[in-house]
Amino acid sequence: FYQRESLVPHNERDYCIPLGKAKVVRSGSACTVLATSVMVHTAVKVAEETGIDAEIIDMRSIGQLTTDWPLVLSSIAKTNRVIIVEQVASGLSLGRHWIAEIQARAFDDLDHEILHVTGSLSAPVVSAVLNRAALGSAERLREAMELLAQSA
Protein backbone atom coordinates (compact mmCIF):
# COMPACT_ATOMS: atom_id res chain seq x y z
CA PHE A 1 0.00 0.00 0.00
CA TYR A 2 2.76 2.47 0.93
CA GLN A 3 5.42 0.60 -1.05
CA ARG A 4 7.52 0.00 2.06
CA GLU A 5 9.15 -3.14 3.32
CA SER A 6 9.41 -3.89 7.02
CA LEU A 7 10.60 -6.75 9.12
CA VAL A 8 7.99 -9.15 10.44
CA PRO A 9 8.98 -11.82 12.96
CA HIS A 10 10.14 -14.90 11.08
CA ASN A 11 7.78 -17.90 11.11
CA GLU A 12 5.15 -16.07 13.15
CA ARG A 13 2.02 -16.13 11.04
CA ASP A 14 -0.19 -14.70 13.80
CA TYR A 15 2.02 -11.66 14.49
CA CYS A 16 0.05 -8.61 15.65
CA ILE A 17 1.12 -5.15 16.69
CA PRO A 18 0.00 -4.72 20.30
CA LEU A 19 -3.05 -2.48 20.54
CA GLY A 20 -2.35 0.68 22.50
CA LYS A 21 1.45 0.39 22.42
CA ALA A 22 3.33 3.11 20.59
CA LYS A 23 6.98 2.65 19.65
CA VAL A 24 9.96 5.01 19.81
CA VAL A 25 11.60 4.62 16.40
CA ARG A 26 14.23 7.34 16.96
CA SER A 27 15.38 8.70 20.31
CA GLY A 28 16.09 12.39 20.69
CA SER A 29 15.84 15.40 22.96
CA ALA A 30 14.96 18.42 20.78
CA CYS A 31 11.27 17.64 20.28
CA THR A 32 8.76 14.81 20.30
CA VAL A 33 7.22 13.92 16.94
CA LEU A 34 4.03 11.86 17.13
CA ALA A 35 3.56 10.26 13.72
CA THR A 36 1.26 7.75 12.09
CA SER A 37 1.58 5.45 9.11
CA VAL A 38 3.83 6.59 6.27
CA MET A 39 4.63 9.85 8.09
CA VAL A 40 6.79 7.88 10.55
CA HIS A 41 9.28 7.20 7.75
CA THR A 42 9.00 10.81 6.56
CA ALA A 43 9.72 12.10 10.08
CA VAL A 44 12.81 9.92 10.45
CA LYS A 45 14.09 11.07 7.06
CA VAL A 46 13.51 14.77 7.84
CA ALA A 47 15.20 14.46 11.24
CA GLU A 48 18.23 12.79 9.65
CA GLU A 49 18.44 15.33 6.82
CA THR A 50 18.19 18.35 9.12
CA GLY A 51 20.29 16.93 11.95
CA ILE A 52 17.56 17.83 14.45
CA ASP A 53 17.65 15.54 17.49
CA ALA A 54 13.94 14.67 17.33
CA GLU A 55 12.38 11.79 19.24
CA ILE A 56 10.00 10.11 16.81
CA ILE A 57 7.16 7.97 18.10
CA ASP A 58 5.15 5.68 15.84
CA MET A 59 1.69 5.88 17.41
CA ARG A 60 0.65 2.58 15.71
CA SER A 61 -2.81 2.57 17.35
CA ILE A 62 -4.79 5.60 16.24
CA GLY A 63 -7.98 5.23 18.27
CA GLN A 64 -8.78 7.76 20.98
CA LEU A 65 -8.99 4.99 23.57
CA THR A 66 -5.79 3.23 22.50
CA THR A 67 -3.26 6.06 22.76
CA ASP A 68 -0.12 5.04 24.65
CA TRP A 69 -0.19 7.99 27.06
CA PRO A 70 2.58 6.75 29.39
CA LEU A 71 5.08 6.68 26.50
CA VAL A 72 3.87 9.93 24.94
CA LEU A 73 3.90 11.86 28.22
CA SER A 74 7.35 10.59 29.23
CA SER A 75 8.74 11.74 25.89
CA ILE A 76 7.10 15.17 26.22
CA ALA A 77 8.53 15.53 29.74
CA LYS A 78 11.98 14.91 28.22
CA THR A 79 11.74 17.18 25.15
CA ASN A 80 9.16 19.82 26.22
CA ARG A 81 8.10 20.28 22.58
CA VAL A 82 5.63 18.37 20.41
CA ILE A 83 4.87 18.03 16.72
CA ILE A 84 1.97 15.87 15.58
CA VAL A 85 2.31 14.83 11.95
CA GLU A 86 -0.34 13.04 9.92
CA GLN A 87 -0.74 12.41 6.22
CA VAL A 88 -4.49 13.04 6.24
CA ALA A 89 -6.34 16.19 5.30
CA SER A 90 -6.71 18.40 8.37
CA GLY A 91 -10.48 17.91 8.56
CA LEU A 92 -9.99 14.16 9.03
CA SER A 93 -7.24 14.43 11.62
CA LEU A 94 -7.09 12.58 14.94
CA GLY A 95 -4.28 14.90 15.99
CA ARG A 96 -6.75 17.49 17.27
CA HIS A 97 -7.80 15.03 19.96
CA TRP A 98 -4.15 14.39 20.86
CA ILE A 99 -3.50 18.14 21.10
CA ALA A 100 -6.39 18.61 23.53
CA GLU A 101 -5.26 15.66 25.64
CA ILE A 102 -1.62 16.77 25.70
CA GLN A 103 -2.68 20.28 26.75
CA ALA A 104 -4.72 18.77 29.60
CA ARG A 105 -2.18 16.14 30.68
CA ALA A 106 1.19 17.80 30.06
CA PHE A 107 0.64 21.56 30.00
CA ASP A 108 3.37 22.26 32.58
CA ASP A 109 5.90 20.27 30.55
CA LEU A 110 5.39 22.28 27.35
CA ASP A 111 7.83 25.07 26.45
CA HIS A 112 6.23 25.78 23.06
CA GLU A 113 2.83 25.53 21.43
CA ILE A 114 2.01 22.11 19.99
CA LEU A 115 2.61 22.10 16.23
CA HIS A 116 0.29 20.10 13.99
CA VAL A 117 1.35 19.11 10.47
CA THR A 118 -1.42 17.79 8.21
CA GLY A 119 -2.67 18.34 4.72
CA SER A 120 -5.01 21.13 3.70
CA LEU A 121 -8.73 21.29 4.42
CA SER A 122 -9.52 19.48 1.17
CA ALA A 123 -9.66 15.72 0.84
CA PRO A 124 -7.21 13.81 -1.39
CA VAL A 125 -8.28 13.80 -5.04
CA VAL A 126 -7.24 12.35 -8.38
CA SER A 127 -5.20 15.38 -9.48
CA ALA A 128 -1.56 14.92 -8.46
CA VAL A 129 -1.11 18.63 -7.69
CA LEU A 130 -4.25 18.87 -5.55
CA ASN A 131 -3.48 15.55 -3.88
CA ARG A 132 -0.05 16.81 -2.77
CA ALA A 133 -1.70 19.89 -1.27
CA ALA A 134 -4.27 17.78 0.56
CA LEU A 135 -1.73 15.57 2.34
CA GLY A 136 0.88 16.26 5.01
CA SER A 137 4.35 16.73 3.56
CA ALA A 138 8.01 16.43 4.45
CA GLU A 139 8.47 20.14 3.73
CA ARG A 140 5.80 21.19 6.25
CA LEU A 141 7.32 18.83 8.81
CA ARG A 142 10.81 20.22 8.14
CA GLU A 143 9.53 23.76 8.77
CA ALA A 144 7.91 22.68 12.05
CA MET A 145 11.04 20.87 13.27
CA GLU A 146 13.26 23.83 12.41
CA LEU A 147 10.91 26.22 14.23
CA LEU A 148 11.06 24.14 17.40
CA ALA A 149 14.83 23.67 17.12
CA GLN A 150 15.31 27.45 16.88
CA SER A 151 13.19 28.04 19.98
CA ALA A 152 15.18 25.57 22.11
pLDDT tens-digit series, residues 19-45: 899 999 999 999 999 999 889 999 999
C-alpha angle 103-105-106 in degrees, rounded to nearest 5? 70
d(CA 117, CA 56): 14
106 in a structural domain: yes
Q: Which of 48, 49, 59, 110 is nearest to 82 (CA)?
A: 110
Q: At 31, which CATH number?
A: 3.40.50.920
9 in a structural domain: no
Residue 147: domain span: 23-151
- Give per-residue pLDDT as tens, 47-93: 999 999 999 999 998 888 899 999 999 999 999 999 999 988 777 78
Q: What is the dihedral of CA 137, 51, 114, 99, to 10 degrees?
A: 60
17 in a structural domain: no
6 in a structural domain: no
The domain total for the chain is 1
pLDDT at 121 over 80: no
Q: In what order do the strands lie in the sheet with 31-35?
A: 23-26, 54-58, 31-35, 82-85, 115-117
28 in a structural domain: yes
2 in a structural domain: no
63 in a structural domain: yes
Percent with pLDDT over 70 in the chain = 90
Q: What CA–CA distances, in Å, run from 14 to 11, 116, 120?
A: 9, 35, 38
pTM for the full model?
A: 0.84
36 in a structural domain: yes
